[in-house]
Amino acid sequence: MVPEEERAVSKSRKAKDINVMLVGNPNVGLTTLFNQITGGIAHKSEIGAKEGYAKKHEHINIVELPGQYSLSSYSADDLSNREILLSDFPDVIINVVDTTSIERSLYLTLQLMELEIPMVLALNMMDEVENNEIDIDIIKLSEKLDMPVLPVSASKNRGVHDLLHYAIQVERDKRVPKKLDFCSGHVHNAIHAVLHLVEHHACAVGIPERFAATRLVEGDKKIEEALKLSEADLEIVDHIVEDMEYHMNTDRESAVADMRYDFIEDLTYDVITRPEWSTVEQERSYKIDKILTNKYLAIPIFVGVMGLVFLFTFNLIGERLSQLLGVGIDYLIDLGDAALAGGNASPVLRALLIDGVANGVGAVLSFLPLIAVLFFFLSILEDSGYMSRVAFVMDKLLRKMGLSGQSIVPMLIGFGCSVPAIMATRSLPSKRDRSLTIALIPFMSCSAKLPIYAMFTAAFFTSYKALVLVGVYFTGIIVAVICALIFNRTIYKGPPVPFVMVLPSYRMPATRSVLLRMWENVKGFIKKAFTIIFVATVIIWFLQSFDFGLNLVESSETSILASIGRVAAPVFAPLGFGDWRAATALITGLSAKEAVISTMAVLAAAGPGMSMSAMLSEIFTPLTAYGFLVFTLLYMPCVATLAAVKRELGGWGYALLVVLFQTTVAWIVSFMIFRVGSLFF
């Protein structure tokens, strides 16, 4: 018999989700573990954290935080993680550790233990540990840290179930890690003195006191503010720290870090024996890097790899699939059209469904394979560890533009989509670096712009297709470089940003996570096609079918849309595409770049017997078509990107600046292309 009271507890427990936080260094397999536990299904994916329910245990909510090295406050990622961890949201922490570089991983563990949250330690990469005959006394480690320590191999799905089991056990017992006395000597005295001083303040604002004290000794301004200490208290803290610094003959930051690592060294000395000084995987990476980061080969290889990715995307795989899908979609549309015609549907409804929605959404959807293939390759490059090498190789070039090698990863992701790219800038250490990178990311041709390029190259440049595509991509990159150089000498003047990055060993990308990432993006694209694009096409169809008196128009020339387009058209006249249809397409492109193409499709369908490419060649010459492509590449980013910019840089002001800046640049560059090009063609 279960006592009444306990039953009530277990009932209420069922009602409440248990929030399990996955925390660890970058590249320790957090995402792999998350995918193993949840089956890869995230029900909430925000910047910062990704949440999903554990397979078969819907009340267990798994939260994956972005990788971090410490709980300090110098990068945006670290700060937002810390905020989440300090809130009352987490019930239990699973600290994932790369067992092959355990010292660095345990540094974060020691900080997490101060948070007074139930915690288990997951020793990941156990398969590599076994490969290298690293001997680790797990029971002893568990005793020393006073928490469950579990060997797992996330990639091989070993030990994951036990890990979750222990995490829940620890949560149920509310077993908070004991206060480890990893400090000694003067640091110990300082921390304890500060601890007594700030106990009450910390309690009042809900920050664990031990954590608060250590952070204060380290000189963390954010915690200082959060604790609302009085002037007198602050003075005492300063005095204590000064005293410690005097006796240690070093500064506060160094003293505390040194103390932690000293404790870790003692700990690992007792529990781990490593026969060799670098692992098999590291040796292998070292050999691969002899070629991939070779003095002469590195940059050609990088250019070649990116070239291959785009070749596969546009030519070999993506394009074929796109054509197939396009044929399929057309077939479906014809079927639907016939059914509507047979079913005596009203002509207006039929026009709306077929000419408006089906053509517009269909035109966008047929590019789905291109996007899937592009993301497939980008995920492989990232998961294998090659992106980090690119950062290493390109750092010096990027520094000339006032950026660091780390900025190249978000920029390459920008070729897929600006939104995740802007989110990826969170790992950059300085604010200046982030805002500059974010300003440049939209110049990377995102995959939403692909349908536009594909449509135009098919209509105008059939024989120079590849050349024109490469030309557009490079125009974006060159414009980004020029803007960076200008920024670096004007607004973003200052010392070069630092570049410190851990190079992970090359690892075989897990098929599952690559496919999952691809699926996530494909899903987003489909969703966008049936929401934003759908609504946009309906509105466009309505505007181009009716005039201001709400009468059905004979030709779209007299429609509401034409009037709106004509107002905006003069702006684009100097660029060579002053037609109202071009202007309209550009305006709708603000909702999502694919809308440029869906708008064109709707407008073309309205004309009697006009195909899309026929309409395009009516509006554009090859030269102005190229100018138009460059304009769509460079002008203000879509709404989703702007929202991401606002979220990351905190303010519509900055987003508005981006809008003005990019549109101006787009106008100037297209103008130059048209004027200079007119001299030759």
Binding site for other proteins (CB under 8 A): 69-70, 72, 74-75, 100-104, 107, 184-189, 247-250, 253-254, 257-258, 261-262, 265-266, 268-269, 272-279, 282, 285-286, 289, 293-296, 298-299, 392-393, 395-397, 399, 405, 429-430, 496, 498-503, 505
Q: What tokens appear for 585 in the block?
A: 């397409």
Question: How far, in Å, CA of 327 to CA of 322, rounded?
Answer: 9
Nearer to other proteins, 299 or 539 (CB): 299
Would residue 290 be called left, alpha or beta, if left means φ above 0 and alpha means ψ between -120 and 50 degrees? alpha
What's the closest the beta carbon of residue 188 comes to other proteins, in angstroms? Answer: 7
Which CB atom, from 69 or from 415, has the smaller least distance to other proteins? 69
For residues 663 and 399, give the distance between their C-alpha atoms in angstroms, rounded to a whole number. Answer: 26
18 DSSP β-pair partners: 60
- What's the token pair of residue 617? 């060649």
CA nearest to 66, candidates 520, 375, 431, 427? 427
Q: How far apart are CA 140 and CA 650, in angstroms?
A: 47
Contact 674, 576 (CB under 8 A): yes
Shortest distance (Å) from residue 237 CB to other proteins: 19
Helix (H) or strand (E) holding 285: helix 280-292
Check: CB of residue 118 under 8 Å from CB of residue 175.
yes
**84 is written with which tokens?**
């989440």
Nearest CB to other proteins, comparing residues 246 and 530: 246
Q: Which is nearer to other proteins, 376 or 392 (CB)?
A: 392
Closer to other proteins at the Cβ: 136 or 536? 136
In the complex, least distance from residue 418 CB atom to other proteins, rounded to whole angstroms: 26
In the complex, minimum distance from the CB of residue 107 to other proteins, in angstroms, rounded to a whole number: 6
What is the phi/psi pair of residue 98, to 5°? -85, 105
The nearest distance, CB 384 to other proteins, in angstroms, is 15
DSSP string, 141-195: HHHHHTS-EEE-BTTTTBSHHHHHHHHHHHHHHT-PPP------HHHHHHHHHHH
Give the residue with the Cβ less far from other proteins, 142 or 430: 430
Residue 93 in 3-state DSSP?
Answer: strand
**Residue with tokens 């905020």, as numbered in its chain:** 83
Give the nearest distance from C-beta 397 to other proteins in angstroms.
7
- Closer CB to other proteins, residue 397 or residue 610? 397
**Between residues 111 and 545, which has the closer beta carbon with respect to other proteins?**
111
Cβ closest to other proteins, residue 28 vs residue 638: 28
Closest CA to 438 of 643, 593, 628: 643
User: CA 564, 566, 570, 575: dihedral to nearest 10 degrees?
Assistant: 100
The least CB distance from residue 499 to other proteins, in Å, is 5
Rounded to whole angstroms, the Cα distance separating 476 from 634 reads 7
Shortest reach from residue 29's CB to other proteins, in Å: 14
Q: Closer CB to other proteins, residue 505 or residue 624?
A: 505
Name the minimum Å distance from CB 72 to other proteins.
6
Q: How many other CB atoms are found less than 10 A from the CB of residue 636?
A: 22
- Tokens linked to 337: 């059209």
